[in-house]
Amino acid sequence: MQIEVLAIGLPLLGAIIAGLFGRSITDRGAQFITCLFMIVAALISMKIFRDVAILGNDSVTIELFKWISSGTLDVAWSLRFDALSAVMLFVVNVVSASVHIYSVGYMSHDKCKARFMSYLSLFTFAMLMLVTSDNLLQLFFGWEGVGLASYLLIGFWNHKPSANKAAIKAFIVNRVGDFGLALGIMTIFVIFGSIQFDAIFSAAGDASNASFLFLGYEFHALSLACGLLFIGAMGKSAQLGLHTWLPDAMEGPTPVSALIHAATMVTAGVFLVARMSPLFEYAPMVQMAVTVVGALTALIAATIAVTQFDIKRVIAYSTMSQLGYMFFALGVSAYGAAMFHLFTHAFFKALLFLGAGSVIHAMSDEQDMRKMGGIWKKIPMTYIMMWIGNLALAGLPWFAGYYSKDLILEAAFADHSWFGEFAFWCGITAAFLTAFYSWRLLFMTFHGKSRADDKVIAHIHESPLVMQIPLAALATGALFAGVAFAPYFIGEHRIDFWQNSLFVLEHNDTIEAAHHAPSWVAQMPVFVAIIGIFLAYILYVVAKTIPTHIAKIFSPIHSLFFNKWYFDEIYDALIVRPLIALGRVFWKRGDEGVIDPLGPDGVSATVNVSSKTVGRMETGYIYHYAFAMLIGVVALLTLYLFKFYW
Amino acid sequence: MIDLQTFNIIPVMPEIIMALMGMVLLIFAVSQGNKSYRIVSWYVVLTCITVGAILLRFPQGVSITFGGMFVTEPFAVFMKLLVLAGASLVLLMSITYMQREKIARFEYPILILFSTLGMMVMLSANDLISLYMGLELQSLPLYVLAAFNRDNLKSSEAGLKYFVLGALSSGLLLYGCSMVYGFAGTTNFIGLAEVFALEATPVAGVVVGLVFILVGLLFKISAVPFHMWSPDVYEGAPSSVTAFFAVVPKIAAIGLLIRVSMSAFGGIAEQWQQVLMLVAMGSMIVGSMAAIVQTNIKRLMAYSSIGHMGYALIGLTAASSAGVQGLLVYMMIYMFTTAGVFAIILLMVRKNMQVETIDDLAGLAQYKPLMALCMAVLMFSMAGIPPLAGFFGKLFVFQAAMAEGMYTLAIVGVLTSVIAAYYYLRIIKVMYFDSATEQLDNVEDSGSNFVMRASAFFAVVFITIAWPIVEAIHYAVDSLLFL
């Protein structure tokens, strides 16, 4: 048993121990065990990251045991460690370990600590299975596993109806994407006869012109497969159309938001597309769709974030917007850039969420920024952390986000296609908005006069050490992850770094092209970010009355943004209500009207009636009984003789 | 001419001992009067055990005596052991019961003994004549037993009904015997088997006779449509007698049915398979349907046993070695679990009165957890829930039917056992989830308590002892089929 297996096994073990034996080992024990296991797992994944990715050793695949062997379908539980999964392992385990430790402090007032820790570890395990899989089925297992863990954690405070609703919504919206993914996997099996990555990838080039017949229509096979996979990715990564669950998921405890809905799970879609890059490279139509959807997501999410007042929702929309960046980077074949942004984003977004959690913790569970303000002196540590996180998010030079975001925009520009250009301008606008809403958040939360009531203010306190240490660890990442790893992910070492785990056709190498983009393209994002910050300073520190005026003057646009472009309302009217009406018809007319009377109710009524009939034959008169016997004899004889002389 | 084989009385020794014991006990009891009831009962139990022990030491292999009228082989020994065990169990649980009911007369154990003797003769019958003799010897005491509580109207009615219908069935049987003799020219089973081995298609008359014989035997196991007597008789007769009816004669009649159809008429199996199949289906359907509306637990058990006979007949209908083995496993399990259920019925006493509706069991689990648990185990076993004994009985007969391609029969069997599960589970529901109105008395009756516990224990541990039992049955069946 190689030590690498522990990086995946320990979280599962922790989840089992804390989940099943939480009572006997007490909350403390459960917290200790899960945190310890996660730290060990994080250290091991650092080692894997160093060995496989940085030092460029060969990738390894460890087969644990056979799972399914049926016909031509052969699937094993196995762990594949190449550069791509090493990056994901590093991100998932480091962020997860930080969140585990942070949760010890954050959840100190909760009753079900062991259950919470168990879910966190379970989630981590599922995510690790997803990223280390070497076939699509195990990936699907991990995919569903994180969906389940996400459901459990969003609805963790199941005494709140809103949390339950959000959990169900997240689950159902994700099902739509999962359906696409499942169909995609089946399509791939039909095309390639295998769901093993190596087998698929080596055959991808030959299959580039294959077609797929369905109901008499002919599809370009790889486009169909990639399109379906992308629908799956859209669901998990909250891309426009299937994004409505992500903001609502903020009903979960804040550490959950940080781990699942910012740093790790939502990046599963990005990972999937990067993993399947050998297929996407042969499906240019899908690449175009990915780019457009990503660009729109980046822009629209940013416009919504500008108008929101709930501190966590602002960050949630910011997450969605950043995922949009990653997707259009994938769309223009800049897979390395997307993965690099995923990597840096994980640190600073987790930092922001945990910082927000620290604020919420300090403000006695208040999340509305309108009721905050002027608290920076009371919680200076958190304040500094939020600054670092926002600087990285806005992509100011030398912070982590600067390296990744800049490159994404340059790559989009360098793609020299209409959708690359489109994505570039969407991205620039979103970058401006990002800087604006980030500092709006900072100014509203920490500066100005306090708008909270006295009781809350008296209670404001800095978070305990156990919450500050993970913040510091993540802040380190937000500060240095960009500058330290840029050469490996996107710079001169990138060929050795990624080895074969990413695949780019030669003429599509936009990262190479990005390095030759004009200099104004590189400077543009920083320039708009500084304008955004400056504007936020004017509107929220100098002239605080202006924002309300602006909102009034542009009220149609403002309410469009404020109401999240009415996505929920449109879905409600177009999909949810018709479906409920249809369901009601099936229930009342179909189930209660047809199946019940013919099925369960009908059968039991028939049995009852016949039971009474048979019972009534028992008259008690002896001549009836004798008669029945003789009839029986005659019947049997007739039957026999009939048969005999036939 | 003195033929050694004709006068070989070794194979008949158990029956002779039993007959002698019966007469001795009768003389003893007449001289002592009803105060000797308990001691006579215990002597009968002892006799059964002794005879059983002798049977166990019996030489292996087939021995035929009385000019071919009487046969013993491991099959007969096995069936006789079952009958003796059943009779002992019923006596054990009824000794105290009869006294509670104030009908403890010495004739009771002695009648049981003679009836048991008749069954043993039936099981060894190798000729239509000895068949009839055994059958009548077991039936006559049963008529008396049904009416044993002669001051009770229902009991007398039960006895009379059973007698009249029993006479009718005997008439049919005798008519069948004469037909068979007339067309085949012999009454001996071996002779019949030889006749049918020669003729591929028998004359119609023989088969008409066979149908009549089968009807006479099917009446004894209360298979549909010859079942009508059993609910009335079960309800009217004293409960201990009902227990005897439900358990013991059925074993003997099934044993005889196996011998007649498999060995005497085995050559023309196709002719009687059809008949038995219809009867089996009818029994399963009536047994499961009619029981649902019953409120009296004895009546319910009557329908339950009609259903069980249906399942058992599946094994015989298959007409294969596996089928007969399954049938024997089924009968053995049926005997032990039914005895346990009746032990519980005998323990249902409230204010010194026997009660017998299902609602009287309400809330039993709260104040008599052990009794409720035993009942629940037995009900689950009868419904055929794994891993209890009843499941294996059903499994084996269904398997045998499937192996012979009788899918209809197996499907009907599965469906009706689903329906039957309803009334078994209802009893459990009443015991565990309904609240008690009035509690049942604590009855001093170690016999019934023992049978109840032993039976439930058997149902639970059968899975661990199934293998040697199945082996023994395999051996017994082989001895019959390769005569």
| pLDDT over 70 at A48, yes or no | yes
Q: Which residues of B touch A611 (CB under 8 A)?
A: 289-293
Choose the closest CB to B208 out of A611, A625, A637. A637
| pLDDT confidence of residue A546 | 84
Mean pLDDT of A445-450: 86
Strands in A186-332 per DSSP E: 211-214, 217-220
Say what the pLDDT of residue A456 is.
81
Question: Which residues in chain A have their CB less than 8 angstroms from residue B271's CB?
Answer: 640, 644
What is the number of helices (H) and of strands (E) in chain B? 18, 4
Q: What is the pTM of this model?
A: 0.68
Stretch B195-215: mean pLDDT, rounded?
85
Q: What number is the average pLDDT over the span A442-460?
A: 84
- How do residues A298-326 score in pLDDT, each as one tens digit? 999 999 999 999 999 999 999 999 999 99
pLDDT at A40 over 60: yes
List of chain B residues whose C-beta atoms are within 8 Å of the C-beta of residue A608: 292-293
Encode B140-163: b = buried (16+ Cβ within 10 Å), e = exposed.
bbbbbbbbbbeebeebbbbbbbbb
- Percentage with pLDDT > 70 across chain A: 100
Inter-chain Cβ pairs, chain A and chain B, closer than 8 A = 81
Greater confidence (A467 vs B7) lies with A467
pLDDT of B7: 67
pLDDT of residue B175: 95
What would the mean pLDDT of B407-422 be, rounded to a whole number? Answer: 92
d(CA A366, CA A358): 11
pLDDT band at A1 (very low <50, low <70, confident <90, very high): low
- Give the side-chain half-sphere CA count within 13 A for A380: 1
Q: How many CB atoms lie within 10 A of CB A327?
A: 31
pLDDT of residue B301: 95
Q: Kindly identify which residue of chain A lies nearest to residue B209, measuring between CA atoms.
A: A637
Residue A304's alpha-carbon distances to A300, A309, A430, A550, A567, in angstroms, are: 6, 10, 11, 15, 11
- pLDDT band for position A585 (50/70/90)? very high
| Per-residue pLDDT at B222 | 93
Are A151 and A167 contacting, i.e. CB atoms less than 8 angstroms apart? yes
Domain boundaries, chain B: 2-481
CB atoms within 10 A of CB A627: 12
**What is the rounded CA–CA span in Å between residue B50 and residue B45?**
9
Separation CA A263–CA A275 (nearest Å): 18
> CB count, 10 Å around CB of B225?
23
User: Are residues B231 and A618, on separate chains, in Cβ contact within 8 Å?
Assistant: yes
Distance from CA of B469 to the nearest CA of A (A): 35
d(CA A521, CA A407): 10
CB-based contact B204 A639, cutoff 8 Å = no
User: Residue A542: its pLDDT value, please?
Assistant: 85
Name the band, by pLDDT with cuts 50, 70 and 90, for residue A610.
Answer: confident
Side-chain-side CA neighbours of A260 within 13 Å: the count stands at 35
Query: d(Cα B133, Cα B70) in Å, to the nearest integer?
Result: 11
B109-136 residue pLDDT tens: 999 999 999 999 999 999 999 999 999 9
- What is the residue-averaged pLDDT of chain A? 89
**Identity (one letter) of the amino acid at A521?**
V
pLDDT digits (tens, 9 = 90+) for A240-288: 889 999 989 998 899 999 988 888 889 999 999 999 999 999 999 999 9
Separation CA A456–CA A443 (nearest Å): 19
pLDDT in tens, A519-562: 888 889 999 999 999 999 998 888 888 888 888 888 888 888 88
Report which of A135, A125, A60 is spatially closest to residue A93, judged by C-alpha positions: A125
Average pLDDT over every residue of B365-383? 94
Min Cα distance A597 → chain B (Å) is 18
Query: Quick one: pLDDT band at residue B203, thresholds 50, 70, 90?
Result: confident
Å from B387 to nearest chain A CA? 27
- How far apart are the C-alpha atoms of A316 and A75, rounded to whole Å? 37
When pLDDT is cut at 50, 70 and 90, the band that residue A378 belongs to is confident
pLDDT at A618: 82
Per-residue pLDDT, B2: 45
List chain B residues with CB under 8 Å of A610.
289
What's the pLDDT tens digit per position in B28-87?
Answer: 999 998 899 999 999 999 999 999 999 998 877 888 888 889 999 999 999 999 999 999
- Neighbouring CB atoms inside 10 A of A582's CB total 10
Burial of residue A610 (CB within 10 Å: 0-12, 13-18, 19+) is: middle
Highest average pLDDT, of A67-76, A226-235, B196-205, comes from A226-235
pLDDT digits (tens, 9 = 90+) for A500-523: 888 888 888 888 888 888 888 888
Mean pLDDT of A61-73: 84
* Chain A residues touching B292 at Cβ < 8 A: 607-608, 611
- Roughly what angle, to the nearest 10 degrees, separates helices B239-258 and B107-124? 10
CA dihedral A104, A109, A113, A119 (to 10 degrees): -80
The region, left, alpha or beta by phi > 0 then psi within -120 to 50, assigned to residue A373 is left
- The 8-class DSSP code of residue A565 comes to G
Residues of B in contact with A616 (CB under 8 A): none
Q: What letter does residue B354 receive in the DSSP assignment?
A: E
Chain mean position to CA A546: 37
Q: The complex's ipTM?
A: 0.89
Q: What is the mean pLDDT of residues A461-467?
A: 86
Contact criterion met (CB below 8 Å) for A372 and A460: no
Residues A78/A64, Cβ–Cβ less than 8 Å: yes
Q: Scanning the structure block, which residue is given the tokens 């039976």? A: B455
Cα gap B294→B297, rounded to integer Å:
7
pLDDT score of B483 more than 60 = no
The three-state DSSP-derived secondary structure of B395-446 is: HHHHHHHHHCCCHHHHHHHHHHHHHHHHHHHHHHHHHHHCCCCCCCCCCCCH
Q: Which of A633, A640, A645 sits opposite B271 (nearest CB)?
A: A640
- Provide the 10 A C-beta neighbour count for residue A479: 19
Structure confidence at residue B437 (pLDDT): 81
Facing B275 at nearest CB: one of A610, A622, A636? A636
For B159-194, the pLDDT digits (tens) are 999 999 999 999 999 999 999 999 988 999 988 988
Q: Say how far apart CA A498 and CA A278 lie, in whole Å.
A: 13
Contact call for residues B219 and B139 (beta carbons, < 8 A):
no
* CB nearest to A641's CB, from B204, B278, B291: B204
Over residues A406-431, the pLDDT tens digits come to: 999 999 999 888 999 999 999 999 99
Distances (CA, A) of A191 to A139, A204, A220, A287: 18, 10, 11, 19
Task: Among A606, A622, A634, A639, pick the best mutation site for testing chain B contact (most B Cβ within 10 A).
Answer: A622
DSSP letter assigned to residue A366: -
Look at residue A276 and give its three-state secondary structure: coil
pLDDT of residue B482: 58
Q: Distance (Å) from the C-alpha of residue B284 to the closest C-alpha of chain A? A: 13
